[in-house]
Amino acid sequence: MSLIRKTAAELGAMIAAGEVSAVEVAEAHLDRMAEVEPQVKAFLHVDRETTLGQARAVDARLRAGEKLGPLAGVPIAHKDIFTTHDMPTTAASKILEGWRPPYDATVTRRLREAGLVILGKTNLDEFAMGSSTENSAYHATHNPWDLTRVPGGSSGGSSAAVAAYEAPLATGTDTGGSIRQPASVTGIVGMKPTYGGSSRYGLIAFASSLDTPGPFARNVLDAALLQEVFSGHDPMDSTSIDAPVPSVVEAARHGDVSGMRIGVVKEFAAGEGAQAGVLARFNETVQLLESLGAKVVEVSCPAFASALPAYYLIAPSECSSNLARFDAMRYGLRVGDDGDRSAEEVMALTRAAGFGPEVKRRIMLGTYALSSGYYDAYYGQAQKVRTVISREFEAAFHQVDVLVSPTTPTTAFPIGERADDPMAMYLADLYTIPSNLTGNAAISVPCGLADEDGLPVGLQIMAPVLGDDRCYRVGAAVEQALESRWGGSLLAKAPAL
């Protein structure tokens, strides 16, 4: 089997055993990228020499006897929202075109320390605002299952790269579903760790209280291995949790749900607005869990219905402030600086030219929601909803160990279909948003193909704050049972590129 079809764990083991070098593995993936990128367009920035340089350095470290982790030498696609000192970082925005950060994000640094080799920076919705990657200021990314469809978003470049075998692993960030939804629609695994479980330092902020870095992989164990690499307390991020990292790898190796109590979120299983094929696969998977020895109960979380509107007040409010720093003064795009215009005019012209329509929409929404006289009715009220949702989660986790739902109401939609309909686009995150508002852990694992379109469906498994290991335990059990039923991974059913 060619190197690109191998799992990250397998590649790591082969490299550690000296059966293959990090350079050879990187070259195999760079070659694959050269082959399929014209169709998939998952990457914004690829620099073969920089990547091979990293791979050579890892080989040298290994030869020198340095003890590196299980992913040393394994290539990874890195979402272009994490700063990298040796590659440009743009957040897929024109306002940062060509910007080369002078520093590495904590996630980037930890990848390097563990010996992962960065293949390039992946495409995303501008500043991670979107669910299709169509909001990238550079180009759309195509779903490897069907090139006319979106790969999800905002981390669509990462999900597409992994699903297209361009990389065995990828990083993402999840603010409202930006890891789980793309993983779901591309038939791979995507995990949103507990908020604060992975550092935001060097992650270009969209909504500070929601943004969470997390892993993409083609299987549950690889995702856990990657999460373990970049998790853990970071003194540079005040909101990072100073507690032991949940033992996710251990959990991923021991998929077992016997005796576990699993709650089906009643409001999300009712299927309003959801695709029939998505619900069918979801219901079958719930039955599967029962057959594996789990006790399944229905749990009602009525406030989850208010999660979407609350999110669309909180996230834009925070982004309206976070994106104020893009003012043409210190870095990035500068427009209209002709020597006559004032700083204020240059700022305004730059922001008008540098931000795309969705970013502007959210900045305006947020500016409005925070305005004096409206704050209590909008931002203040949304924070109250957030508290109510937290209480519902808490109550639910008294009854059950994890909650499950479909990851997203539909399979991958065609490129362009929702581009002019923000509300339809926002609905893609209906089931994922509650976990962002409360900070709890949630994963998406493939659970089959929808009958009507033959496209992947994801199962979302939600666990309490710092209960990340439960996501992996249940996810691994589902993966094991389904893959034995399918005779391999779901991705093997994808049409060849």
Partner 1 sequence: MTVETAMPYDEALARFEPVLGLETHVELGTASKMFCGCKTTFGAPPNTQVCPTCLALPGALPVANAMAIESTIRIGLALNCSIAEWCRMARKNYFYPDMPKNYQISQYDEPLCFDGYLDVEVDGETVRIEIERVHLEEDTGKSTHVGGATGRIHGADYSIVDYNRAGIPLVEIVTKPIPGTDRLAPEVAKAYVTELREIMRSLGVSDVRMEEGSLRCDVNVSLMPRGSSEWGTRTETKNVNSLRSVERAVRGEIERQAAILADGGRIVQETRHFHEDTGTTTSGRSKEEAQDYRYFPEPDLVPIAPDPAWVAELKAGLPELPTVKRKRLQAEWGLSDLDMRAMHNADAIDLVEATVGAGAPAADARKWWMGELARRANETGVALADLPITPAQVARVTELVASGALNDKLAREVLEGVLGGEGAPDEVVEKRGLKIVNDEGELSAMIDEVLAGNADAAEKVRSGKIAAVGALVGGVMKASRGKADAARARQLILEKLGVSE
- List the structure tokens of 51: 């990547």
Supply 73's token pair: 């030498």
Closer Cβ to partner 1, 139 or 375, answer by number:
375
User: Which of 239, 287, 300, 399 is the binder for partner 1 (CB under 8 A)?
Assistant: 239
CA 380 – CA 397 distance, rounded (Å): 26
444 labelled catalytic: no
> What part of residues 336-355 is at the interface with partner 1 (CB under 8 A)?
342-344, 347
Please tell me the distance from the alpha carbon of residue 496 to that of residue 32, in angstroms, as a whole number. Answer: 13
Instruction: State in angstroms the smallest separation of the CB of 12 from partner 1.
Output: 28
Least Å distance, CB 326 to partner 1, is 8
Taking the complex as a whole, how short is the minimal distance between the CB of residue 208 and partner 1, in angstroms? 4
Nearest approach, Cβ of residue 359 and partner 1 (Å): 14
370-429: which residues touch partner 1 (CB under 8 A)?
370-372, 375, 379
Question: Which residues, in sequence order, are CB contacts of 376 under 8 Å at separation 6+?
Answer: none
Q: Which is nearer to partner 1, 83 or 460 (CB)?
A: 83
How deeply is 383 buried, as exposed, middle or buried, from its count of CB atoms within 10 A (0-12, 13-18, 19+)?
A: middle
| Residue tagged active-site, from 93, 154, 320, 444 | 154
| For partner 1, the closer CB: 69 or 309 | 309
Among 237, 345, 417, 453, binds partner 1 (CB under 8 A): 237
CB atoms within 10 A of CB 256: 15
Selected binder of partner 1 within 50, 247, 321, 480 (CB under 8 A): 321
Pairing of strands 189-192, 261-265: unpaired
Candidates 84, 95, 72, 173; CA nearest to 120 is 84
Residues 96-125 that bind partner 1 (CB under 8 A): 96, 99, 101-103, 105
**Nearest-approach distance from CB 88 to partner 1, in angstroms:** 12
Smallest gap, in angstroms, from Cβ of residue 487 to partner 1? 43
User: Least distance in Å: CB of 209 to partner 1?
Assistant: 4
Question: 74 near 117, Cβ under 8 Å?
Answer: yes
In the chain, the amino acid numbered 161 is A
User: How far, in Å, CA of 418 to CA of 405, rounded?
Assistant: 23
Task: Check residue 360 for interaction with partner 1 (CB under 8 A).
Answer: no
Would you count residue 276 as binding partner 1 (CB under 8 A)? no
- Reply yes or no on whether 2 is catalytic: no
Contacts of 255 (CB under 8 A, 6+ apart): 220, 472, 473, 474, 475, 476, 477, 478, 479, 480
Q: Is 318 in the site for partner 1 (CB under 8 A)?
A: yes
Q: Which is nearer to partner 1, 203 or 427 (CB)?
A: 203
Judged by CB under 8 A, does residue 466 bind partner 1? no
Residue 475 touching partner 1 (CB under 8 A): no
CB 411 within 8 A of CB 277: yes
Select from 138, 201, 311, 426 the one that contacts partner 1 (CB under 8 A): 201
Q: CB of 469 within 8 A of CB of 248?
A: yes
Alpha helices in 187-306 (DSSP H): 220-230, 248-253, 266-269, 276-291
Q: Which of 41, 79, 121, 192 is catalytic?
A: 79
Do 294 and 401 contact (CB within 8 A), yes or no?
no
Annotated catalytic residue, options 178, 405, 435, 489: 178
- Between 331 and 486, name the residue whose CB sits nearer to partner 1: 331
Nearer Cβ to partner 1 (91/465)? 91
The strand pairing partners of 174, in sequence order, are: 212
CB atoms within 10 A of CB 491: 20
Please tell me the distance from the alpha carbon of residue 237 to that of residue 251, in angstroms, as a whole number.
27
CB of residue 427 to partner 1, shortest distance in Å: 25
- Could you tell me where the DSSP H helices lie in 71-116? 106-113
Closest approach of partner 1 to the CB of residue 154, in Å = 16
Nearer to partner 1, 347 or 427 (CB): 347
Residue from 7, 51, 83, 198 in contact with partner 1 (CB under 8 A): 83
Is residue 342 part of the annotated active site? The answer reads no
DSSP labels for 415-436? TTSSTT-HHHHHGGGTTTHHHH
Contact between 58 and 73 (Cβ < 8 Å)? yes
**Site size toward partner 1, by CB under 8 A:** 45
Distance CA 412, CA 414 (A): 7
**Which region, judged by CB under 8 A, interacts with partner 1, from 2-10, 153-161, 237-245, 456-464?**
237-245
Q: Which residues bind partner 1 (CB under 8 A)?
A: 82-83, 89, 91, 96, 99, 101-103, 105, 200-205, 207-209, 235-239, 317-318, 320-321, 324-327, 329-331, 342-344, 347, 367, 370-372, 375, 379
Q: Catalytic residue positions?
A: 79, 154, 178
